[in-house]
Chain A
Amino acid sequence: RQCLMVSRNLGSVGYDPNEKTFDKILIANRGEIACRVIRTCKKMGIKTVAIHSDVDASSVHVKMADEAVCVGPAPTSKSYLNMDAIMEAIKKTRAQAVHPGYGFLSENKEFARCLAAEDVVFIGPDTHAIQAMGDKIESKLLAKKAEVNTIPGFDGVVKDAEEAVRIAREIGYPVMIKASAGGGGKGMRIAWDDEETRDGFRLSSQEAASSFGDDRLLIEKFIDNPRHIEIQVLGDKHGNALWLNERECSIQRRNQKVVEEAPSIFLDAETRRAMGEQAVALARAVKYSSAGTVEFLVDSKKNFYFLEMNTRLQVRVDSGIQPGSDISIYYDPMISKLITYGSDRTEALKRMADALDNYVIRGVTHNIALLREVIINSRFVKGDISTKFLSDVYPDGFKGHMLTKSEKNQLLAIASSLFVAFQLRAQHFQENSRMPVIKPDIANWELSVKLHDKVHTVVASNNGSMFSVEVDGSKLNVTSTWNLASPLLSVSVDGTQRTVQCLSREAGGNMSIQFLGTVYKVNILTRLAAELNKFMLEKVTEDTSSVLRSPMPGVVVAVSVKPGDAVAEGQEICVIEAMKMQNSMTAGKTGTVKSVHCQAGDTVGEGDLLVELE
C-alpha cells in the first residue's frame, strides 16, 4: 500500500552549513524513513550507521549507510525494538546521536532514557514530551488539562473483554477500542455492539502485544463520519511554540492514511485558528521543543476533538525499495509515497493521476487502482469526505474503475492495436536469404475482443505508428511508438493521452492491461479463431467458495476450526497476520470443514490452501 499526498505548497527547509553538526549518527529505523534520514545526513556530511534485521540485510537503507549493524531476527520486537542490541550497536560504532525516524522507538521514553544515560543525543523531542504524548492515556489527560477538546471516553486501562463491554455501554455505541501504546491504526477497532466489542478487545490486544509489546487498551466514543485533520506545530527549548497549516488525512483504510491533502477544503479560517491555538497550547503544556503533529477528529459541524500528538513531522516521491528488494511481511506495508502539487487543486490532482499511471509495479499487489479512483471520485473532488469515505463509496470493497462507454472503447481500441502490433512484429525477422519470409497481406484485422464476458467486434488497420480502429461501429485513431518491451506505453487515442501498461500476454489471446489505474483482462482473437472458439468446451473450474486460500503471504496466528466442524457463512475460520495486521479469514459458505491445511505459527504464501469445506 502506498501513502499518497496531494499538496499545493511545498516549502523547503534550509540549514546553515557552518552550524556544528555530529560526525556520525545511528538511524534506528528502516525502509523509506531511514533512507530519507541517511540522504539528509549525506548532504550535511554526517557519517551514518544503519541497523537492520536478518531479512533486511540487503535492503536499500543498509546499502546507503556508511556502516550497518544487524540487531536481530525479523520480528520487530527482536530487532528494531530490541533496545539492548541497538545500544550495543551505538557503542560499537561510536555514533554520537540517534535518529529514531518515526514509529519503532521514536516515541519510547525508556529508549530516550537509555540514550541519555550513555550520553548519546536523541534527535527528536525530549523524554518528557515523548512520555507525555507517546502514551494515549497520558496524552489525553494532559490535553484535557491544557483545555484542548477531547473525545468523551474512558481514560483508564481496560482490564478484560467484559469490562470493555460495560464501559462501551456506558459511553454508548459506537465505540473505538485502541491500544494505549499504539499508532498507525494498529490495534484499533470500532465496535457497534457487545459482540463486536468482545472480538475487538481480543484482536486489538493481540495486535498491540505483538506490535508494541504492550497490550493495554482504552475505549472512547467513536465519532461517526469524522474528518481526520492534523496541525503541524513547532516548539523550541525556550517555551516558544507556533502552528503551521493543516493537512486533511481523512481518506483512510483501516485507520491508515491513504491520501493526504493540504490545505483542507473543509476548514474555515476560524476553525483553523481555533485548532491551531489548541495545538500550540498542548505543545506548550508538554514543553515541546521539536517539530510535531497534533491530530484532530473534526465532525460535520466543525467540532474538533484532540486525537493524539505525534512527535515528528512527515514529508516527499520517497521509496525505501529498489528492484529486487524483499517486501517483508514483518514490517509496515507502505512501499512508496507520492506527492504532487500545483497552482490549484485541479492541477495537483491531474498531476497525481498522471504520476500514478507511471508507477511500474510488478511482483506485489498494490493499491494504485484505488488511489487513482479516489482522486477522481466526484465526492472527493467536491471535498465531501470523511474517514468513512472508502467504506461509504465502496461498501462491497473496491472492485476497480468503472469504465464509461467512451473509456471502454478507448481500452478496446488500445488493446486491439497492441494485439496487432505484436502480430506484425512476429513477422519481422532479420532477413534470411536462403528462404524469404512472405508476410501475409492483411489490410484489415478483424478481431473479436472479450472484456467482462462481453464480446466486441473490432476492425483495426495499421499505417505506420497509427492504427485506425473501429470498435462496435465507432471509429478511433490510436497512435504510439509501440515499443513492445517498454513497461509503460504512452498512447494517444483520438488526441487523448493515456499511459497504459501491458502486464501479461499469452499466445491464446489473453492480455492484462492497466488502464486508468485498473488492470483489465481482455481476450483477443482473430474473427476466425473466435468463431471456432465457440466450439471449445467450458473447463470445469474449482469452486472457490469451498476452499479458503491465503490472500497474501503471512503467518497463521490462530485456527478456530477442525475437520468435521459445522461452520456458517462468514464465520471466522482462522486469523492470518500479514504486514503486521491481523486478518480474519471467514467461511465462504455454510458447510462442514473437510480438512485443515494449516496450524498456528505456520508461514503461508499467497494462494496457499488453508481450509477446505464440504
Chain B
Amino acid sequence: MAAALRVAAAGARLSVLASGLRAAVRSLCSQATSVNERIENKRRTALLGGGQRRIDAQHKRGKLTARERISLLLDPGSFVESDMFVEHRCADFGMAADKNKFPGDSVVTGRGRINGRLVYVFSQQIIGWAQWLPLVISALWEAEDFTVFGGSLSGAHAQKICKIMDQAITVGAPVIGLNDSGGARIQEGVESLAGYADIFLRNVTASGVIPQISLIMGPCAGGAVYSPALTDFTFMVKDTSYLFITGPDVVKSVTNEDVTQEELGGAKTHTTMSGVAHRAFENDVDALCNLRDFFNYLPLSSQDPAPIRECHDPSDRLVPELDTIVPLESTKAYNMVDIIHSVVDEREFFEIMPNYAKNIIVGFARMNGRTVGIVGNQPKVASGCLDINSSVKGARFVRFCDAFNIPLITFVDVPGFLPGTAQEYGGIIRHGAKLLYAFAEATVPKVTVITRKAYGGAYDVMSSKHLCGDTNYAWPTAEIAVMGAKGAVEIIFKGHENVEAAQAEYIEKFANPFPAAVRGFVDDIIQPSSTRARICCDLDVLASKKVQRPWRKHANIPL
C-alpha cells in the first residue's frame, strides 16, 4: 500500500510534465485511482459491518450495531476511528479467502468525547460470518442463535483493543468497552487465546490509572468474561446480555443442572445474586444514555481531581426534613436513600449495585458540583448490618473512589456485623476486613455522618475517626457504643435483679453522641438540617488534602 501511495504522489508530480510523457503518466494515474477506489470500498464495507442482512437481524433482536452504539454513546461528530483497515491473518479453514475477510475485523475502535471529555471506546460487532458457521458450531460456547458467533475474538480483534487501551493509558483517559462477542475464534486457536491475555494484561495495567467501564450488550462467555471482570464497572442490558464461564449445555453435561441462559448469566442474576454486574438497564438506548450520564461523574484518570460540574443547588441549602427523619424508636427503620437524596445536589444519585447486598448503599453524587462517593448503611434492609456481601460491595467502591480522587461521604447507622454460622463459615472475618482495609487505606477526603447506631467493630469500620476520617459528625440521635443497651446489660449485669434500671442507666450513659464527642471521636454534634452545608464547606477545605504513605510495592488487601 505504501508503494501505491508513493506511486500516486509521483503521478501527481508527473502530471505537470511535458506532453511527451503523458502516456506513461496516464497509466500511473489509473493505478492511483484504483487505490482510491479500494480505500473507498474498504471503508464502505467497514461502515456496513456485516451487511444489511446482519444489521436487520441484529435490530430484530432489539439490539443495535457496534457503530450505532458508538454514535449514541459519543458526542455527535466526535468519533475518530482507528484500525478500520485491520483484517484477521488466519489462513486455516479457508479463512484466507477474501470473502471471509472484513475490514475492521469484528470490533470498532477509536476515541471520542462524552459531553466534551475524552474517552477511548471499543465496540464489538456482529458481522457476516454466516459462511463460517459450520466451522464454528462445535465451539466451546454454544448458543441457540448462531448469529451471535459474530464478534468473536481474533488476534487482530484483540490487537485493535490493546492499541486503544495503550493510548488511553498514555494520555490518561477512560476506556469504555461495549461487549457483544461470541468468545474465542476457534479457527485461530491459540492466537485468539493470546489475544485475550493481551487484553487482560492491559486491563490490569490500566487498573487504578484510568477508569475502565464495560457495558455488556450481548453474549459474553468463556474467557471473554474476565476482561469486564477486571474493569471498574460492569453494566448489563436487560434481556439481551449474558455473562457466564460456560453455557447452559455444558452446565447440564457437567453438573446435570437445568438452567436457562437468563437464569445462569442474565442481567437479573448478576445484579441481584452474583454481584458480578453493577447495574442493568432496560435496552441498548437506555443503557447508552445512562452510560453518558454516569461518565460525567468520573475523573479522566488518577492524575485528575474529581470533576466539578456547574451546580445550581445552593451549597448552604438547609434540609429541614432531616431533623425528623430518624424515628424516635431505635428499632424502627427508615430509608437512608432519602437522606442521601436530600443532602446531595439536586437529589441526583447514581447508585451502584442497587439490588445487591442492599443493606449497604454505594453510589455517586455531587456536592456543590463536585463528584463524591456515597457509602451508607441501609436500616431498611437487615437493619443495615454488615455481612459478607455488603462488606465486599462497599470495599470495592471505596477503593475505586480512593484510586480516582473522589471524596467519600459515609452515612452510618450500623448495628454491627451479622452473626451466625453462614457468615462465619463464609469468612465474614476476611471479607469484613476488606471494608475496614479499604476505608483505612483511603487518602481522599473522608467525611462521616453518624445518623443513629454505630455499634461495635462496625463503628470502627465505617470510616471512623480512628481510620483517619477527616471530619466525623454525629446527629443528636447518634448512639455510639460497643453494643445496644439490652445486650450490653445482659453481659454487664448477668444475674442481677434490676435489669430494667441497669438498661435505663446504660441508655442514659451510652445511647447518645456524648461519650464519643467528649473523646473527640466525633468532631461535632450537628443539627441534621445543616448536614449539606457542613459537608460542602468541609469538602472545599479538604480539596487540598495531601497524605504521604511509606513506600511499598503495593499493599496486600485481604482478598
Q: How far is the CB of B381 from chain A (nearest CB, A)?
A: 15
Q: Mark A436-460, 1 if CB is under 8 A from B, else 0.
A: 0111101000000000000000000
Q: Which B residues are CB-close (under 8 A) to A429?
A: 116-117, 307-310
Q: Which B residues are CB-close (under 8 A) to A536?
A: 62, 282-286
Quick check: A508 and B290 within 8 Å, CB to CB? yes
CA distance A535 to B308 in the complex (A): 36
A-B contact count (CB 8 A): 123
Among A178-186, A408-416, A481-489, the stretch in contact with B: A481-489
Quick check: B172 and A537 within 8 Å, CB to CB? no
Is A365 interfacial (CB 8 A cutoff)?
Answer: no
Q: Which A residues are CB-close (under 8 A) to B307?
A: 429-430, 432
Q: Which A residues are CB-close (under 8 A) to B324?
A: 58, 324-326
Is A465 interfacial (CB 8 A cutoff)?
Answer: no
CA distance A430 to B116 in the complex (A): 12
Partner of A427, one of B64, B116, B118, B322: B116
CA distance A536 to B282 in the complex (A): 9
CA distance A483 to B313 in the complex (A): 9
Q: Mark B279-313, 1 if CB is under 8 A from A, else 0.
A: 00111111001101110100010011101111111
Q: Which B residues are CB-close (under 8 A) to A426?
A: 115, 292-293, 296, 309
Q: Which A residues are CB-close (under 8 A) to B320?
A: 322-324
Q: Which A residues are CB-close (under 8 A) to B75?
A: 440
Partner of B64, one of A324, A508, A509, A532: A532
Is B72 interfacial (CB 8 A cutoff)?
Answer: yes
Is A43 interfacial (CB 8 A cutoff)?
Answer: no
Is B323 interfacial (CB 8 A cutoff)?
Answer: yes
Partner of B312, one of A440, A484, A529: A484
Quick check: A435 and B283 within 8 Å, CB to CB? no
CA distance A435 to B170 in the complex (A): 13
Q: How far is the CB of B544 from chain A (nearest CB, A)?
A: 15
Closest partner residue, chain B, to A536 (CB atom): B283
Q: How far is the CB of A430 from chain B (nearest CB, A)?
A: 4
Q: Which A residues are CB-close (under 8 A) to B173?
A: 435
Q: How far is the CB of B369 from chain A (nearest CB, A)?
A: 7
CA distance A484 to B311 in the complex (A): 8
User: Is the contact region of chain A dominated by helix, strand, or loop, or is it mixed?
Assistant: loop
Quick check: A438 and B71 within 8 Å, CB to CB? no
Closest partner residue, chain A, to B171 (CB atom): A435
Quick check: A507 and B369 within 8 Å, CB to CB? no
Quick check: B303 and A434 within 8 Å, CB to CB? yes
Quick check: A432 and B304 within 8 Å, CB to CB? yes
Quick check: A440 and B76 within 8 Å, CB to CB? yes
Partner of B283, one of A483, A484, A507, A537: A537
Q: Which B residues are CB-close (under 8 A) to A434?
A: 172, 300, 303-304
Partner of B289, one of A326, A432, A483, A529: A529
Quick check: A440 and B78 within 8 Å, CB to CB? yes
Q: Which A residues are CB-close (under 8 A) to B117?
A: 429, 435, 437
Is A428 interfacial (CB 8 A cutoff)?
Answer: yes
Is A539 interfacial (CB 8 A cutoff)?
Answer: yes
Quick check: A430 and B369 within 8 Å, CB to CB? yes
Is A309 interfacial (CB 8 A cutoff)?
Answer: no
Given the contacts A323-B320, A435-B172, A435-B173, A507 and B292 also touching, CB distance less than 8 Å: yes
Within 8 A of B (CB), among A309-345: 322-326
Closest partner residue, chain A, to B314 (CB atom): A485
CA distance A439 to B312 in the complex (A): 20
Closest partner residue, chain B, to A326 (CB atom): B324
Within 8 A of A (CB), among B340-374: 345-346, 369
CA distance A438 to B119 in the complex (A): 12
Quick check: A425 and B290 within 8 Å, CB to CB? no
Is B142 interfacial (CB 8 A cutoff)?
Answer: no
Is A528 interfacial (CB 8 A cutoff)?
Answer: yes
Q: Which B residues are CB-close (under 8 A) to A440?
A: 75-78, 113, 116
Count the A residues whose beta carbon is within 8 Å of the partner chain — how many? Answer: 37
Partner of A57, one of B116, B322, B328: B328
Quick check: A58 and B328 within 8 Å, CB to CB? yes
Quick check: B312 and A442 within 8 Å, CB to CB? no
Q: Which A residues are CB-close (under 8 A) to B61?
A: 537
Is A297 interfacial (CB 8 A cutoff)?
Answer: no
Is A533 interfacial (CB 8 A cutoff)?
Answer: yes
Given the contacts A437-B116, A536-B283, A425 and B325 also touching, CB distance less than 8 Å: no
Q: Which A residues are CB-close (under 8 A) to B172?
A: 434-435
Interface centre among A437, A532, A535 (most CB of B within 10 A): A535
Quick check: A323 and B321 within 8 Å, CB to CB? yes
Is A587 interfacial (CB 8 A cutoff)?
Answer: no
Is A525 interfacial (CB 8 A cutoff)?
Answer: yes
Is B509 interfacial (CB 8 A cutoff)?
Answer: no
Quick check: B309 and A442 within 8 Å, CB to CB? no
Q: Mark A478-519, 1 if CB is under 8 A from B, else 0.
A: 000001111000000000000000000001110000000000
Q: Which B residues are CB-close (under 8 A) to A57?
A: 328
Quick check: A533 and B328 within 8 Å, CB to CB? no
CA distance A485 to B239 in the complex (A): 35
Q: Which B residues are CB-close (under 8 A) to A525?
A: 285
Quick check: B311 and A485 within 8 Å, CB to CB? yes
Quick check: A324 and B116 within 8 Å, CB to CB? no
CA distance A58 to B319 in the complex (A): 16
Partner of A529, one of B72, B325, B328, B345: B72
Q: Mark B52-77, 1 if CB is under 8 A from A, else 0.
A: 00000001111110001001100111
CA distance A411 to B167 in the complex (A): 46
Partner of A532, one of B284, B304, B322: B284
Interface centre among A325, A437, A486, A536 (most CB of B within 10 A): A536
Q: How far is the CB of A321 from chain B (nearest CB, A)?
A: 11
Quick check: B113 and A425 within 8 Å, CB to CB? no
CA distance A261 to B105 in the complex (A): 75
Quick check: A485 and B290 within 8 Å, CB to CB? no
Q: How far is the CB of B126 from chain A (nearest CB, A)?
A: 14
Quick check: A425 and B304 within 8 Å, CB to CB? no
Given the contacts A485-B346, A508-B290, A532-B68, A435 and B304 also touching, CB distance less than 8 Å: yes
Q: Which A residues are CB-close (under 8 A) to B290?
A: 507-508
Q: How far is the CB of B63 from chain A (nearest CB, A)?
A: 8
CA distance A326 to B327 in the complex (A): 11
Within 8 A of A (CB), among B93-120: 113, 115-118
Beyond the given A440-B77, A529-B289, please list 15 additional residue pairs across the A-B interface where CB-CB is below 8 A.
Answer: A58-B324, A430-B307, A430-B309, A430-B369, A434-B172, A435-B172, A435-B304, A438-B78, A439-B115, A440-B75, A507-B289, A509-B289, A532-B64, A536-B283, A536-B285
| B-binding residues in A (CB < 8 A) | 57-58, 322-326, 425-430, 432, 434-435, 437-440, 442, 483-486, 507-509, 525, 528-529, 532-533, 535-537, 539
Listed A/B pairs (29) with beta-carbon separation below 8 Å: A58-B324, A324-B321, A324-B323, A324-B324, A425-B309, A429-B308, A429-B309, A430-B308, A432-B300, A435-B171, A437-B117, A438-B78, A438-B116, A439-B115, A440-B76, A440-B78, A440-B113, A484-B346, A485-B314, A507-B286, A507-B289, A528-B72, A528-B76, A529-B72, A532-B285, A535-B62, A535-B64, A536-B62, A539-B282
3 tightest A-B CB contacts, nearest first:
A324-B321, A537-B62, A428-B310
